[in-house]
Structure 1
Amino acid sequence: MFAAMLISLGVVFLAELGDKSQLITLTYALRHRWWVVLGGVSIAAFAIHGISVTVGHFLGLTLPARPISAIAGVAFIGFAAWTWRERITSTPGETQIREPRFVLLAVVSSVLLAELGDKTMLATVALASDRNWLGVWLGATAGMVLADAVAIAAGTVLHRRLPEHLLHTAAGLLFLSCGLWILFDEALDWRPVAIASIVAVVAMALGTALWRASLRRSGLAAGEGPTAQQQIPPTAV
């Protein structure tokens, strides 16, 4: 059991580094309390690897990865739209207080959708097929929580240093990118389209940021012009 736990912990931890669920965890940590996000990740990890162990050890089945990925991709695009809706409808300077239980539910559902049919889940299924199921379950859960804890730490630091509107925008872009990648690459197996869509999202985000920056500079210049003229003393006649 102990050997199965260590192997599963190492495999899942390495598989989660840079994975979309880690990116999703970072997205939530940008805007919500770290302990709520960590709790949601822990519940989701325990559940998803419990399903994996059941499938691999007790049932010996395979999951329909593409239909699950299609549902997950559409869901994450919906998460992006919801995040931007919050950004538009919120009052500038207003701090929105969200119930921890609602955030917890959102984190759990997002991570579950991201992990269903993912390589981490498939690795757990394979490990559970010929190893101690309890050790694989506990080790895989611990590995996923540890990997996502790294993302939570990074998100918490950024949350303290970045303005709220920028966090909303970044969260929406991350959700949209994850949704497009899952939909085109994992569900439809159109990797070139997935890459092109991510590049397009990044290009649009950078273009919008540069455009807004130029507008702000123009506004500042227009506002400073009359002031500067008023400070010029009249020419003596």
Structure 2
Amino acid sequence: MSSVVQGFSKSLAMTVLSEIGDKTFFAAAILAMRHPRRLVLSGCLLALIVMTILSVLVGWAAPSLISRKWTHHITTLLFFIFGLWSLWDAFTSDGEAEELAEVEAKLDADIKNNKETTKQNSKDDDDLKKQRQPLLAQFLSPILLKAFSITFFGEWGDKSQLATIGLAADENPLGVVLGGIIGQALCTTAAVLGGKSLASQISEKIVALSGGLLFIVFGIQSFLSPFES
């Protein structure tokens, strides 16, 4: 039970500090301003849950392919690398304004290149507001699919995904899954309900510094703790 709690707490803290103010956070916030929030939230959450489960499965299977000793050492190294990476971002990044502008530019370009889809989405929005669409039609809504694809591919290969894989290789997978999903749910819900205003009130530098220090603490703890054979 203690291993589950440890994996859960580490995964929850790491996810929250990694996801607040990143590109998928802003993408969810911007999409929620233009489309029904429940569809955007559903699409983003579904993508993040799938991504978290896939990452944990990869981390869980890693010790079967590589010795437990090596996965422990690799995970420890990853924590230090991600910690230094986050600290570097904190001191060199131009802040959330550039991140937000980049995401908005990409979404605006996508809208311009898909005018017909945008018109259809507007019609779907009107129908959804009247709550006349059947459940299956809502699930297959282009808005939900768009939120899913933007979030899923935005997170693929991201620092938080790699960190989740490393954490799952060294901690209880169930705890890592639960912590990751709850952390993702908290961040995504905050983004959809008021992410743009929330991000403007939270210093990205402080979040990056906190995340970097957290990764380094995890690395020190992993380095000092003996690996389980």
Q: TM-score scaled by structure 1?
A: 0.52
**In structure 2, which of residues 110, 114, 122 is the aligned counterpart of residue 82 of structure 1?**
110
Q: Which residue of 1 aligns with 2:61?
A: 58
Provide closer, same or farther for how the CA distance between residues 155 and 17 of structure 1 changes in structure 2, counting only shifts above 3 A. Answer: closer
Q: Which residue of 2 aligns with 1:134?
A: 174
Provide closer, same or farther for how the CA distance between residues 107 and 133 of structure 1 changes in structure 2, counting only shifts above 3 A. Answer: same
Whether the 8 Å contact between 1:36 and 1:103 is mirrored in structure 2 is yes
Letter in 1 for 2:23: K
Letter in 2 for 1:109: S
Letter in 1 for 2:187: A
CA deviation after TM superposition for structure 1 residue 28, in Å: 1.0
Letter in 2 for 1:83: I
Q: Which residue of 1 aligns with 2:194?
A: 154
Count of aligned positions? 142
CA deviation after TM superposition for structure 1 residue 54, in Å: 1.5
Whether the 8 Å contact between 2:25 and 2:195 is mirrored in structure 1 is no
CA distance in 1, matches of 2:158, 2:107: 19
Provide closer, same or farther for how the CA distance between residues 41 and 152 of structure 1 changes in structure 2, counting only shifts above 3 A. Answer: same
CA distance in 1, matches of 2:111, 2:188: 21
Provide closer, same or farther for how the CA distance between residues 85 and 49 of structure 1 changes in structure 2, counting only shifts above 3 A. Answer: same
Provide closer, same or farther for how the CA distance between residues 29 and 58 of structure 1 changes in structure 2, counting only shifts above 3 A. Answer: same
Letter in 1 for 2:151: V
Whether the 8 Å contact between 1:44 and 1:109 is mirrored in structure 2 is yes
Whether the 8 Å contact between 1:9 and 1:140 is mirrored in structure 2 is yes
In angstroms, what is the RMSD of aligned CA positions? 3.1
Whether the 8 Å contact between 2:111 and 2:118 is mirrored in structure 1 is no
Matched, 1:97 2:124: yes
Whether the 8 Å contact between 2:56 and 2:164 is mirrored in structure 1 is yes
Letter in 2 for 1:35: R
CA distance in 1, matches of 2:15, 2:117: 39
Runs of 5+ in structure 2 lacking a partner? 66-73, 75-103, 126-136, 198-229
CA distance in 2, matches of 1:40, 1:145: 12
Q: Which residue of 2 aligns with 1:39?
A: 42
Q: TM-score scaled by structure 2?
A: 0.54
Runs of 5+ in structure 1 lacking a partner? 63-75, 158-237
Report % sequence identity. Answer: 31
Bigger RCO (CA 8 Å, 6+ sep): 2
Matched, 1:12 2:11: no
Provide closer, same or farther for how the CA distance between residues 59 and 152 of structure 1 changes in structure 2, counting only shifts above 3 A. Answer: same
Three-state SS of the structure 1 residue aligned to 2:157 is coil
CA deviation after TM superposition for structure 1 residue 142, in Å: 1.3
Letter in 1 for 2:167: L
